Amino acid sequence: MAIHKLKIFAGRGSRYLAEKIAKSYGTEVGDSSVLEFSDGEFQPAYNESIRGCTVFVVQSTYPPTDNIMELLLMIDAARRASAYKVIAVIPYFGWARQDRKDRPRVSIGAKLCANLLKAAGVDRVMTMDLHADQIQGFFDIPVDHLYASGIFIPYINNLQLEDLSFAAPDMGGAKRVNAYAQYMNAPMIVSHKQREKANVVGTMTAIGEVEGRNIIILDDMIDTAGTITKAADMLMEKGAKSVRAAATHAVLSGPAYDRINASSLQEVIVTDTIPLNCNADTSKFTVLSVADVFADVMERVHNYKEISSRFIF
């Protein structure tokens, strides 16, 4: 058993989730604050002793960019306050789409973020459903890459859908969809898309049997919802009984909410790694919490237990 006390703290962007995680763990979120300056600069501080403690800092790095900077400053502050270990709990790891040079003279943002976290002094990173699995290799420290499949599978089973099929919104999501399809013993469909430019989908077609199927489109995130709504409309036009979507991270930028509400999607299943916009129409959304998953894995990490049994696939 660990001899170092565990404490959970939260960045301002993920306080809502940190409170759920702490409650599931059986503790409370630690006391911290952020001093803001008039020029936009800010300085996080811990308002209680963390000397010799294993400190978990919960913060997703969704926009704005202040969230990643606040996380880095909290890690630095914990290091300087003599924490035994500092573990960054990043339910949504932003910048993950920048995982390679796909055209000349561009940044690799995911690698830069990994370097920044290491430079700040983090000992370990815990995250969920990275946009690309290989991002784990950008870190020179342990990474616990969790999956939302343990949350989505029970919910999908409870829907009791007949003629169930799983669909990938693009070729890049085929591996994820294949894992669900094999586990659920269901057929898979792959949507082939051609982009006109970033965040703009051109033409799209489906590979696989669509007619008469209840289809769930799977993805790691929904950003502008252009791809997923176009895929849903295309699948319904080809004779699907119903189309739902399940995605871990509800980024939902720009016209995403309007697109989803105007689309053929019957339901959109997401997690709470990113909060929904309280001012938007969220009637089509079902939010499943990742708090129990993170709390359980945090306990296992803190007490040096294995975590592989926590994953369905």
Interatomic CA distance for residues 82 and 270, integer angstroms: 37
Please state, as a whole number, how many other Cβ atoms lie within 10 Å of the Cβ of residue 129.
24
Q: Which of 7, 20, 85, 193 is catalytic?
A: 193
Name 249's bridge partners. Answer: 221
Q: What is the dihedral of CA 73, 78, 81, 82, to 10 degrees?
A: -140
Nearest to 2 by CA among 303, 306, 301: 303
Q: Which long-range contacts (CB under 8 A, 24 or more apart) does 182-188 make?
A: 183/149, 183/153, 183/312, 183/313, 184/153, 184/156, 187/213
193 is catalytic: yes
Helix (H, G, I), strand (E, B) or coil at 8: strand
For residue 212, what are the β-bridge partners?
none
Asked if residue 34 lies in contact with residue 59, where contact means CB atoms within 8 angstroms, the answer is no
As annotated, the active-site residues are: 193
